[in-house]
Amino acid sequence: MATWLITGCSTGLGRALAQAVLAHGHNAVVTARNVTTLQDIAAAYPDTALALPLDVTDRAQINSVVQQARSRFGGVDVLVNNAGYGYRAAVEEADDADIRRLFDTNVFGAVDMIKAVLPDMRANRAGSILNISSIGARISPAGSGYYSATKAALEGLSGSLRKELQPLGINVTVIEPGGFRTDFAGRSLTQSATAIQDYAETAGKRRKEHDTVHGTQQGDPAKAAAAILKIAESPNPPSLLVLGQDAFDAFAAVARAERTDLDQWRGLSLSTGFEG
């Protein structure tokens, strides 16, 4: 039995994962900004679930959650950084306060969670950190530049963190989902107040009022949760797991295009060294 700490459990993937973890007999600290959304989960698993309020931009709350996890279950074995939200705008359209709020949640919230659990994981020479990213970090759609940037930042940090922690017996895996049938494209999606007409045919097509994807995504959150459980229990987990046919195909297409560019411009790339 392991103890999981999962952020962003009110809906979607976080909620599905919390339920799967508990159903498999693990302990789970399930968190959300509005803790009342978690009461049914806590009631169903009174001995193994601990539901707590958590805004990942509040360091005092983070420290309190980790301390309560330690007091109730002895510590955190698996951290899942799932809390976050989407934001759509052309790069030029975005409001500065919106951008900073997005990075505070999607990047620095995850960083603060990681730093809060690592002292115990290092002392135990064991643990797993699963950072929920997005295929958006790979494909960078028009209109999702800032969201994609937060996930790319999380992935870059995760890569370095994995190298730092592997010798200490701690795993780090990035999870890149595609489209899953959650509230991500609904309640959890925000956008700029400003819309510039020149971007109507690029970023404008991804604004919420033009979105036709919500509620029709092919990804099943319960199956994603099962896949994440398998990663956490694997003796040799990967550095990256892509979830969903759409994400897998998009990842492969980007990799092929990048390889084509790399080969096409090889001569120029290698022309920059000193001669002699």
Domains and CATH numbers, the chain: 3-272 (3.40.50.720)
Neighbours of 83 (CB within 10 A): 24
Catalytic site includes residue 208: no
Catalytic site includes residue 151: yes
- What is the C-alpha separation between 177 and 161, in angstroms, rounded? 20
- Is residue 59 within 8 Å of 81, Cβ to Cβ? no
In sequence order, the β-bridge partners of residue 175 are: 132, 241
The four Cα atoms 72, 63, 28, 38 give a dihedral, to 10 degrees, of 110
Catalytic residue, candidates 151, 158, 192, 199: 151
Catalytic site includes residue 133: yes
Per-residue pLDDT band at 213 (split at 50, 70, 90) = low
- pLDDT one-digit tens code per residue, 226-254: 999 999 999 999 999 999 999 999 999 99
Per-residue pLDDT band at 179 (split at 50, 70, 90) = confident
Q: Render the burial of 151-164: b for 16+ CB within 10 Å, e for the rest.
A: bbbbbebbeebbee
Per-residue pLDDT band at 211 (split at 50, 70, 90) = low
Per-residue pLDDT band at 180 (split at 50, 70, 90) = confident
More confident residue, 11 or 157: 157
Catalytic residue, candidates 87, 146, 147, 199: 147
Can you give the pLDDT at residue 54?
A: 98
Catalytic residue, candidates 10, 45, 128, 133: 133
- What is the C-alpha separation between 73 and 123, in angstroms, rounded? 16
